[in-house]
A and B are shown apart, each in its own frame.
Chain A
Amino acid sequence: MRFSRTSKALGMVAIAALALTGCGASGSATGSGSTGGDTSKVILADGSEPQRPLMPADTNEVGGGKVIDMIFAGLVSYDASGKAVNELADSIEGKDGQHFTIKIKKGEKFTNGEAITAKTFVDSWNFGAAAKNAQLSGGFFESIKGYDEASKEGSTVTTMSGLKVVDDQTFTVELKQPESDWPLRLGYTAFVPVPSGALKDPKGFGEKPVGNGPYKLADGGWQHNVQIQLVPNPDYNGPRKAKNAGVTFKIYQNDDAAYQDLLSNNLDILQTIPTSQLKNFKSDLGDRTINKPYAGNQTIAIPEYLPEWSGEAGKLRRQAISMAINRDEITKVIFNGARKPAKDFTAPVLDGYSDAIPGAENLTFNADKAKAAWAKADSIKKWDSNETFTIAYNADKGGHKAWVEAVVNQLKNTLGIKVEGKPYATFKEARNDATAKTLTGSIRAGWQADYPSLYNFLGPIYKTGAGSNDASYANPAFDKAVSDGLNASSVSDGNKAMNKAQEILLTDLPAIPLWYQVAQGGWSDKVSNVDYGWDGVPLYYEVTGK
């Protein structure tokens, strides 16, 4: 969920055409499909200035994440469909979902020549988790035994007891409890190895990171606020081998400027078409566009600590709200097809996804049922007609205003209650109230997967006391269903259990799923072989010149 803050990626589309054109942009043109092409081209792509030094465990937003992902290689990487394939790992074995033995390939090196051994991984992970190093993504190691001791405030423990080096090529991991999908997470950027120099001087390293990925940072390649130049790493032998002569991320403050550059061939790939251009980008770019769903969604979280939204009446009201929202209309009219109506709490690109989970009908527009549910809630506990239901959103980025207003109008029309959008000037204000549990109404919540797994959309958001549980949802039955999923012996059994857990969510609706994110990007006529990954980021290493 490198999501919202710098969420150009997610924000992409929203303000768009309010004109009732009803134009249903059909999912079309994916990569040109042909292979070959000019491998000597340097690809110019859009980026944003990383917020923090380029340390893998300290980067949790798109601007830096995109670069880290390309200059580092982890145990596994994800292919276009989100399948984890071994990158540095020779094998990752674990029968009980709690104890894993990881063997890494021989002869792997960083671009400075330092060898990558089991110890490199253990040291890197320990560094990321230890409180004293204050790494933003340290929470990714929370499943590992000993994490709590190392990450406590003021802790001087710098190692996690669950990590043990066996020999140069092997180490073992013990988790706090069984988590069958844990190996799937290892492709996330927080889990990559970093050279020993990085641990001694993280700040200096973050300026000139040395990695082991398909690309490396060019000499003086990071010109702050201007561009980040990457060149292929000739020693890289994994599944993401570069098919071009480098990628230069031009840093844009404003997607519109990037779009103008794309039109005049000064930019090769624009990850996200700006909202203002959604109506004309297809005629401007012809078949050089993509429209592909990725692992992200948008919801409205309704905190259960608000009295009118608690208990049975609260549940019925949430169902009423959900059924009063016409998702098809909004995705067509406001988003021009750049979103897909949600049928569950996860995302369609994931393994195990189903659009027919019992309870999914609660996510379908049905004015009569919505009114009936609201009336039933009223018979339990009367809704104060002076009360205004608010939907909070951040107005600084992401263009949420248009769709929030559309939802507001639909709720007003269907349920006849007072509804208002509640803009927060900045994302940080909105997060502040959400974290402090001082919301006075609902809040929009977006989630972009960190790793391709159903659990990533459920556990961190809806488990009792989970860190991102904005709705303060607590249901022991759901918690149990999720841990059953984690305890499952195979991924497919695990997925079945996760979807069982979703049945509970679809009735309780702690958050109301709205739509899935769809990547809409475009490219210049100088490049070909453009495709996007499961996370909505272009597979830059595949792109070639014409």
Chain B
Amino acid sequence: MPTYILKRFLQLIPVFLGATLLVYFLVFSLPGDPIVALFGDKPVNVAVAAKLREQYHLDQPFWIQYLLYLKSIFTFDLGQDFSGRPIATVLGEVFPVTARLAIMALIFEGVFGIVFGLIAGLRKGKFFDATVLIASLVVIAIPIFVLGFLLQFTIGVQLGWAKPTVSSAATVQDLILPAIVLGLGSFAYVLRLTRTSVIENMNADYVRTATAKGLSRFQVVRVHILRNSLIPVITFLGADLGALMGGAIVTEGIFNVPGVGNRLYRAVLSGEGPTVVSIVTVLVLIYCLSNLLVDLLYGWLDPRIRYDS
């Protein structure tokens, strides 16, 4: 097992290098000169532009820029964004906010998705099952920004139960509504996934055996059905954490959450290469790590799964 984990960590190195190279190249290839854009409609002051280009290494060819960036990573100094602030500080500000939002969304979709999916699966074909199925279909069909604006307007503005945008501290309480919006789509998927999985397992031999053995319904459901049904769900949730963090741009925009998505969007527009790459790289790493965590969880859920060293 430790060898397995070590191996997985070593695999992160090429992923990391590949991701940074690719993203850096994409940002580098974006048309338009970010320094010219800083001047707006103003005449570009050649001397000032040259000085700024030098400061951000924009006068160098792609490979040099990329290597300089890699160097800055290994010296733990990610450079500065256009407002002269260390990118590391910027990451430290935005990631906790988005992490909080994504984890809240994950808890929401995990808990409600599994519970609803389990009940629906156990009562296959009944009223609850049908209602939940249709409702989840509707949720999947509506784009997230429509749901976002709708909930913001009804709950935030008309009913006044929550503030329409998050406050400066972006507390857990502020983030409840955005987290629900962010998690709604995946919630529907988790629900359907759990339901299908539960139905499949209900007909499995070991469930019949367990019931025949005289185990209570509760124990059969908890130990034999639920646990076995969770494997595909956990896979989905693990992959979803990365997707939620990176995909929060729309939700963050609607609720004005000062997180990763907002900063990334602005950095892409203004062409701040190092900021974009730093944010994306952290997202890639989170994605890889959450997948590793999922792989490890498999063994716990299903002891038949072994990790080859």
21 contacts between A and B (CB under 8 A): A2-B40, A51-B38, A60-B40, A154-B47, A225-B263, A254-B254, A257-B152, A257-B253, A260-B165, A263-B164, A264-B157, A266-B165, A424-B32, A426-B30, A426-B271, A431-B39, A432-B31, A432-B36, A435-B36, A435-B44, A447-B41
Contact A468 B41 (CB under 8 A): yes
Contact with A along B259-285 (1 / 0, CB 8 A): 000110110011100000000000000
Q: What residues of A have a CB within 8 angstroms of the CB of B255 in the complex?
A: 257
Task: Kindly state the separation between the CA atoms of A224 and B87 in the bound complex, as whole angstroms.
Answer: 12
Given A5-B37, A224-B90; A467-B47 close (CB under 8 Å): no
Q: Which of A151, A431, A447 contacts B47 (CB 8 A)?
A: A151
Tell yes or no: B84 within 8 A of A by CB: yes
Task: Kindly state the separation between the CA atoms of A159 and B93 in the bound complex, as whole angstroms.
Answer: 39
Contact B48 A138 (CB under 8 A): yes
Q: What residues of A have a CB within 8 angstroms of the CB of B165 in the complex?
A: 252, 257-258, 260-261, 266
Contact B269 A206 (CB under 8 A): no
Closest chain A CB from B276 CB (angstroms): 13
Q: Which of A226, A264, A432 contacts B156 (CB 8 A)?
A: A264
Task: Kindly state the separation between the CA atoms of A426 and B41 in the bound complex, as whole angstroms.
Answer: 13
Given A155-B47, A435-B36, A467-B43; A51-B83 close (CB under 8 Å): yes
Task: Kindly state the separation between the CA atoms of A4 and B39 in the bound complex, as whole angstroms.
Answer: 10
Q: What residues of B have a CB within 8 angstroms of the CB of A376 in the complex?
A: none
Contact B41 A431 (CB under 8 A): yes
Closest chain B CB from A299 CB (angstroms): 11
Nearest neighbor of A206 in chain B, beta-carbon distance: B84
9 further contact pairs, Cβ within 8 A, besides A1-B42, A264-B163, A467-B42 = A51-B38, A52-B84, A203-B84, A254-B254, A264-B157, A264-B164, A424-B32, A428-B270, A429-B32
Tell yes or no: B109 within 8 A of A by CB: no
Contact with A along B150-183 (1 / 0, CB 8 A): 0011001100100111001010000000000000
Closest chain A CB from B104 CB (angstroms): 19
Task: Kindly state the separation between the CA atoms of A263 and B48 in the bound complex, as whole angstroms.
Answer: 43
The binding surface of chain B is classed by DSSP as: helix
Contact with B along A39-60 (1 / 0, CB 8 A): 0000000000111110000001
Q: What residues of B have a CB within 8 angstroms of the CB of A396 in the complex?
A: 269
Nearest neighbor of A248 in chain B, beta-carbon distance: B168
Q: Which of A154, A254, A428 contacts B36 (CB 8 A)?
A: A428
Given A264-B163, A425-B31; A466-B43 close (CB under 8 Å): yes
Task: Kindly state the separation between the CA atoms of A4 and B160 in the bound complex, as whole angstroms.
Answer: 35
Nearest neighbor of B160 in chain A, beta-carbon distance: A264
Q: What residues of A have a CB within 8 angstroms of the CB of B168 in the complex?
A: 223, 226-227, 250
Contact A151 B42 (CB under 8 A): no
Q: What residues of A have a CB within 8 angstroms of the CB of B254 in the complex?
A: 254, 256-257
Tell yes or no: B305 within 8 A of A by CB: no
Q: What residues of B have a CB within 8 angstroms of the CB of A460 in the complex?
A: 43
Which B169-222 residues have a C-beta within 8 angstroms of A? Answer: 170
Contact with A along B40-58 (1 / 0, CB 8 A): 1111111110111001000
Contact B258 A226 (CB under 8 A): yes
Task: Kindly state the separation between the CA atoms of A466 and B44 in the bound complex, as whole angstroms.
Answer: 11
Tell yes or no: B59 within 8 A of A by CB: no
Task: Kindly state the separation between the CA atoms of A429 and B31 in the bound complex, as whole angstroms.
Answer: 6
Q: Which of B52, B160, B265, B269 contacts A134 (CB 8 A)?
A: B52
When A and B form their complex, which 3 residue pairs have the shortest distance between CB atoms, in order from nearest? A467-B43, A428-B37, A428-B32
Tell yes or no: A61 within 8 A of B by CB: yes
Q: What residues of B have a CB within 8 angstroms of the CB of A445 in the complex?
A: 41
Tell yes or no: B33 within 8 A of A by CB: yes
Total interface residues in chain A, CB < 8 Å: 64
Given A223-B168, A225-B263, A445-B41; A431-B256 close (CB under 8 Å): no
Most chain-A CB neighbours within 10 Å: which of B33, B41, B44, B157?
Answer: B41
Given A51-B270, A136-B48, A253-B256; A431-B156 close (CB under 8 Å): no
Contact A431 B163 (CB under 8 A): no
Task: Kindly state the separation between the CA atoms of A460 and B168 in the bound complex, as whole angstroms.
Answer: 40
Contact A467 B44 (CB under 8 A): yes
Nearest neighbor of B37 in chain A, beta-carbon distance: A428
Task: Kindly state the separation between the CA atoms of A446 and B41 in the bound complex, as whole angstroms.
Answer: 8
Tell yes or no: A152 within 8 A of B by CB: yes
Contact B94 A225 (CB under 8 A): yes
Contact B164 A261 (CB under 8 A): yes
Binding site for A on B (CB under 8 A): 30-34, 36-48, 50-52, 55, 82-85, 90, 93-94, 149, 152-153, 156-157, 160, 163-165, 168, 170, 252-256, 258, 262-263, 265-266, 269-271
Contact B51 A4 (CB under 8 A): no
Contact B82 A151 (CB under 8 A): no
Tell yes or no: A70 within 8 A of B by CB: no
Tell yes or no: A79 within 8 A of B by CB: no
Tell yes or no: A3 within 8 A of B by CB: yes
Q: What residues of A have a CB within 8 angstroms of the CB of B263 in the complex?
A: 225
Nearest neighbor of B46 in chain A, beta-carbon distance: A153
Tell yes or no: A427 within 8 A of B by CB: yes
Closest chain B CB from A67 CB (angstroms): 12
Contact A151 B45 (CB under 8 A): yes
Contact B44 A426 (CB under 8 A): no
Contact B82 A52 (CB under 8 A): yes
Q: What residues of A have a CB within 8 angstroms of the CB of B32 in the complex?
A: 424, 426, 428-432
Closest chain A CB from B22 CB (angstroms): 20
Given A153-B46, A257-B254; A136-B39 close (CB under 8 Å): yes
Q: What residues of A have a CB within 8 angstroms of the CB of B170 in the complex?
A: 226
Given A428-B34, A432-B33; A253-B253 close (CB under 8 Å): yes
Contact with B along A435-453 (1 / 0, CB 8 A): 1000000000111000000
Q: What residues of B have a CB within 8 angstroms of the CB of A427 in the complex?
A: 37, 269
Which A150-170 residues have a C-beta within 8 angstroms of B? Answer: 151-155
Q: Which of B39, B47, B262, B266 contacts A60 (CB 8 A)?
A: B39
Contact A252 B37 (CB under 8 A): no
Given A131-B47, A264-B163, A428-B33; A257-B41 close (CB under 8 Å): no
Contact B256 A252 (CB under 8 A): yes
Q: What residues of B have a CB within 8 angstroms of the CB of A258 in the complex?
A: 165, 256
Contact A251 B83 (CB under 8 A): no
Task: Kindly state the separation between the CA atoms of A311 and B265 in the bound complex, as whole angstroms.
Answer: 44
Closest chain A CB from B36 CB (angstroms): 5
Task: Kindly state the separation between the CA atoms of A432 and B266 in the bound complex, as whole angstroms.
Answer: 18
Contact B44 A257 (CB under 8 A): no
Tell yes or no: A241 within 8 A of B by CB: no
Q: What residues of A have a CB within 8 angstroms of the CB of B152 in the complex?
A: 257, 260
Contact A431 B253 (CB under 8 A): no
Q: What residues of A have a CB within 8 angstroms of the CB of B33 in the complex?
A: 428, 431-432
Contact B47 A52 (CB under 8 A): no
Contact A134 B51 (CB under 8 A): yes
Task: Kindly state the separation between the CA atoms of A442 and B70 in the bound complex, as whole angstroms.
Answer: 41
Q: What residues of A have a CB within 8 angstroms of the CB of B55 in the complex?
A: 134
Task: Kindly state the separation between the CA atoms of A432 and B38 in the bound complex, as whole angstroms.
Answer: 11
Contact B51 A253 (CB under 8 A): no
Which A222-272 residues have a C-beta within 8 angstroms of B? Answer: 223-227, 250-254, 256-258, 260-261, 263-264, 266
Q: What residues of B have a CB within 8 angstroms of the CB of A446 in the complex?
A: 41
Q: What residues of A have a CB within 8 angstroms of the CB of B84 in the complex?
A: 52-53, 203, 206-207
Closest chain B CB from A247 CB (angstroms): 15
Contact A4 B164 (CB under 8 A): no
Closest chain B CB from A233 CB (angstroms): 22
Most chain-B CB neighbours within 10 Å: which of A50, A225, A446?
Answer: A225
Task: Kindly state the separation between the CA atoms of A396 and B85 in the bound complex, as whole angstroms.
Answer: 25
Task: Kindly state the separation between the CA atoms of A138 and B165 in the bound complex, as whole angstroms.
Answer: 38
